[in-house]
Structure formats: structure tokens, C-alpha cells
């Protein structure tokens, strides 16, 4: 959907990651699912969603064709309900096993594809990380806040 057909909508990717089988660790994935349903209902086909357990080096190819990328992940850090930060490319390899950071993926995108989309990380405060499905009550509230925040950001970026 576009309000002004002479101005193309930016290509936006919402990429949620985490493990829904570890309680609040699934916040990013669940947010991507919510955005997918919302964008389908609204007809916002300039928005794409993706999710995975973790970021991988192959994700550089997926973000190369986007104008704006918002990574979403659960946070154990001392933040309020949600926190939104800019992601800058960094060659620093901070990974464990096969996971890499959003800044490393962005750096790969720059190095391989010579592209740097605007990138952000939406941290969603989580509380419990046990091996079971289902969010805690407070994490569910934070997910709702994150979803509203994402809708507002998309409106800001795209002028919908």
C-alpha cells in the first residue's frame, strides 16, 4: 500500500530470532510472526519478515536487498520493556557455535554486496529462559509494546 505512488515504499525486513522452546527467548520470533500477520491483513507488501533461532552469516544475502532491517531479539540485559538501538557494521566476530551478531551480519553485507541497509536492533526484555514453551506474563506485555513500537516505526519509515 502506498499513499503517494510516485515515492516507492522502502523495502523493510523484520528479522526476529530466538528459541520459542526456551520461554521468553522466543520474543523476537513471535514478534516477526505478529508483524507477518499484520502486514498480510493490511496489504503492506513492502514489508518482509523472517525468523530463526539465531543470526547466521548467510543472513547477509537476505538483508542486501533491503533499505531498512530491524532485528528483534529477547534481552536479558537491564533495560526497560524494550530498547531500540542502531546497528553499525563491525568486523568483530562475536559468536558462539554458529551464531553471529547483527553488526557482523551487516559488516558481511557491506563487504560482500557493497550495501549497508539502515539497521536497528529491537531488544525486548525477557525474564525466564527455561526449556519450555510459553512466555511469562511480563514478557507478553513487552511483546505487545514491541509490536506497537514496530508498527509506529514502520509508519515513520514508510509514511503509511
| Domains of the chain with bracketed CATH | 12-158 (3.40.50.1450)
Query: What does the pLDDT look like over 65-121, one tens digit per residue?
Result: 999 999 999 999 999 999 999 999 998 765 454 578 999 999 999 999 999 999 999
Residue 1, pLDDT score: 44
Global pTM? 0.92
Query: What does the pLDDT look like over 21-44, one tens digit per residue?
Result: 999 999 999 999 999 999 999 999
* 96: exposed, middle or buried (Cβ count in 10 Å: 0-12, 13-18, 19+): exposed
Cell numbers describing residue 11: 523495502
Amino acid at each position: 500500500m502506498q499513499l503517494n505512488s510516485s515515492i516507492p515504499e522502502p523495502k523493510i525486513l523484520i528479522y526476529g530470532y530466538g528459541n520459542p522452546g526456551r520461554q521468553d527467548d522466543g520474543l523476537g520470533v513471535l514478534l516477526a510472526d505478529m508483524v507477518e500477520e499484520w502486514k498480510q491483513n493490511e496489504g503492506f507488501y513492502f514489508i518482509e519478515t523472517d525468523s530463526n533461532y539465531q543470526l547466521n552469516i548467510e543472513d547477509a544475502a537476505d538483508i542486501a536487498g533491503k533499505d531498512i532491517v530491524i532485528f528483534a531479539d529477547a534481552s536479558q540485559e537491564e533495560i526497560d520493556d524494550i530498547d531500540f538501538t542502531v546497528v553499525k557494521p563491525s568486523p568483530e566476530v562475536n559468536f558462539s557455535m554458529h551464531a553471529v551478531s547483527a553488526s557482523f551480519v551487516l559488516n558481511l553485507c557491506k563487504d560482500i554486496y557493497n550495501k549497508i541497509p539502515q539497521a536497528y536492533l529491537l531488544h525486548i526484555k525477557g525474564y525466564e529462559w527455561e526449556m519450555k514453551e510459553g512466555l511469562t506474563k511480563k514478557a507478553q506485555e513487552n511483546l505487545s509494546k514491541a509490536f506497537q513500537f514496530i508498527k509506529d516505526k514502520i509508519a515513520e519509515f514508510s509514511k503509511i
